[in-house]
Amino acid sequence: MYKFERLLEILFTKLKTASLENLGVGNNKEFKVLISGILSTRTRDEITEKVSKKLYNVIKNFDDLDKIKVEDL
């Protein structure tokens, strides 16, 4: 297990917040945590959660993010 994964496990287990539960449990969690973390520095948690869910319907990984036009974001 990577240190990053262990950190997520500890946070998820100990804190059990709604935001952490939706940050990327499952496939591509590193990608989701990174993107949601970046978004959360500029928005409230409620907005971050809503935008992240919409974004992950379109963008699944870094390759998708690289290909999408800024206007489409």
pLDDT digit string (tens) for 9-64? 776 666 555 454 555 455 677 888 888 888 888 888 888 888 888 988 998 888 88
Q: What is the pLDDT of residue 27?
A: 63
Overall number of domains in the chain: 1
Strands (E), the chain: none
The confidence score (pLDDT) of residue 40 equals 86
User: 57 lies in which domain range?
Assistant: 3-72
The predicted structure's pLDDT at residue 26: 56
Q: What is the pLDDT of residue 43?
A: 85
Q: What is the pLDDT of residue 1?
A: 58
End-to-end CA distance of the chain: 33
Cβ-contact 55, 35 below 8 angstroms = yes
* pTM (whole model) above 0.75: no
Q: Which of 10, 60, 28 is nearest to 20 (CA)?
A: 10
Residues 62 and 53 sit within 8 Å (Cβ to Cβ): no
